[in-house]
Structure 1
């Protein structure tokens, strides 16, 4: 047992020394990030050493200094791209005046056009965020439903609580219909229908 214990300790010492030597030999050379502008020559630097740097025009530093690690220079990337103007979103517009460029983590809020409703369910939100040169985020505006007098006449229906006129209802809004004079609702047709993202199933009445 004593010999086994001594062998175990010996192996641990060998592994420890190997690790120490391996770590001491780790060096970092010039970073591969093409957007780092200065210094031009970094030379070989040891594990844990730090280096100040700057980024090319249109890019920003992701840290105050770069650090030499086992995985090379960190953080990665050293330089993050800026974003241009925020993207166009269907049926929505930005709530504030926009800029020509944005830094990483800056975000822009959108609002939907009149009668359109912002979908609040994940992964949707009201923001687009600049992330390392790209706009990230999902915005969706739920469409309203449009019902014309002509469509109602074709189905023998009318609005229950107001005179017939073209009506625009927002998503999830219900509309109550009634049969025109002398007609009755067809089987399995319901007088109240709800708008669902631009689609509404109109009931139909017959003689």
Structure 2
């Protein structure tokens, strides 16, 4: 124990490396989220050898470098330091924006959120109202700004659909543009998109109809139960009833009535 104290004293106060072949540290200390510094890495370690650890990206220490010295008692920490996740600094909040979150020491830990609002109730928040502290002290999004609501450019296109009005290159905040789907297509969602502070919001889909023709039915030995058409279009969610052709019997137990689901319909088989 006396030798350990002497070695540590020289290392801390005299900055002198003391080696002793009678003392050997066979395994490195386990420092979570840290790696040994290349400058202090050796093939083997004897009494008085000092090693330094540096934190992995996204982690840091609150004090001096993490150091260990090899003693007769094994590795002894020179400072009781550890690597902790970097915190996100709360700085540079734009003018006109108010924090709606209590923040201690102007920093948050990973996983915590910042909430923002506009000081002037007539202004609109531009950007995310909530940002999250990520690993490495990074924010999930830039801090938002506040100002008069922004307009939008040309309304977005709709697959298998179109707008019901003339194309325009500018729209005001909260202005709506109405859409319609192509013939036989079924609209899912509200029939419009709204300009909101520079972004178009609103979810619309045009769901495909199903097509069943004579060739497809012939390959399955089936026909339409009702009507004499050789080809039909069926809207999404509508059902079709089939029958086997003469002297044929259905295969399986699923029946002969099937639903159209976004352009796909299961055809029964007869033999």
- When the two structures are superposed, what TM-score results if normalisation uses the length of structure 1? 0.60
User: Does the residue aligned with 1:86 lie in a helix, a strand or coil?
Assistant: coil
Q: Could you say what the CA RMSD is over the residues aligned between the two structures, in angstroms?
A: 2.4
Which deviations, in whole Å up to 9, do the C-alpha atoms of 1:104-149 show, x marking residues without a partner? 1001111111000111xxxx31111101111111101121001121
CA distance in 2, matches of 1:190, 1:164: 21
Structure 1 segments (4+ residues) deviating >6 Å: none
Q: CA deviation at 1:169?
A: 0.4
- Post-superposition offset of 1:150: 1.0
2:199 is aligned to 134
Q: Distance in 2 between matches of 1:180 and 1:162?
A: 14
| Pair member with larger Rg | 2
Task: Report the equivalent of 1:202.
Answer: 267
* Residue correspondences, number: 135
* Residue 197 (structure 1) shift: 1.4
Q: Aligned equivalents of 2:197 and 2:213: distance in 1?
A: 47
Where do 1:136-155 residues align within 5 Å?
136-155=201-220
Contact 1:189 1:204 in 2 (8 A): no
Structure 1 SS opposite 2:217: helix
- Rounded to whole Å, the distance in 2 between the matches of 1:146 and 1:135 is 33
Matched, 1:95 2:160: no
Q: Distance in 2 between matches of 1:187 and 1:134?
A: 51
Q: Are positions 1:173 and 2:238 aligned together?
A: yes
Q: CA deviation at 1:191?
A: 1.2
Structure with higher helix content: 1
- Secondary structure at the counterpart of residue 215 of structure 2: helix
Do residues 107 (structure 1) and 172 (structure 2) align? no
* TM-superposed deviation, 1:89: 0.8
Give the unaligned 5+ runs of structure 2: 1-93, 98-119, 124-144
Instruction: Report if aligned partners of 1:142, 1:197 keep a CA contact under 8 Å in 2.
Output: yes
| Range with greater deviation from structure 2 (175-184 or 160-169) | 160-169
Cα distance in structure 1, aligned partners of 2:235 and 2:219: 23
- Is structure 2 residue 151 aligned with structure 1 residue 82? yes
Counterpart among 167, 181, 189 of residue 254 in structure 2: 189
| Whole-Å separation in 1 of the counterparts to 2:229 and 2:222 | 9
Q: Is the 8 A contact 1:104 1:131 kept in 2?
A: yes
Comparing both chains, which one has the higher relative contact order based on Cα–Cα distances under 8 Å and sequence gaps of 6 or more? Answer: 1
- Between the aligned partners of 2:95 and 2:192, the Cα distance in structure 1 is 34
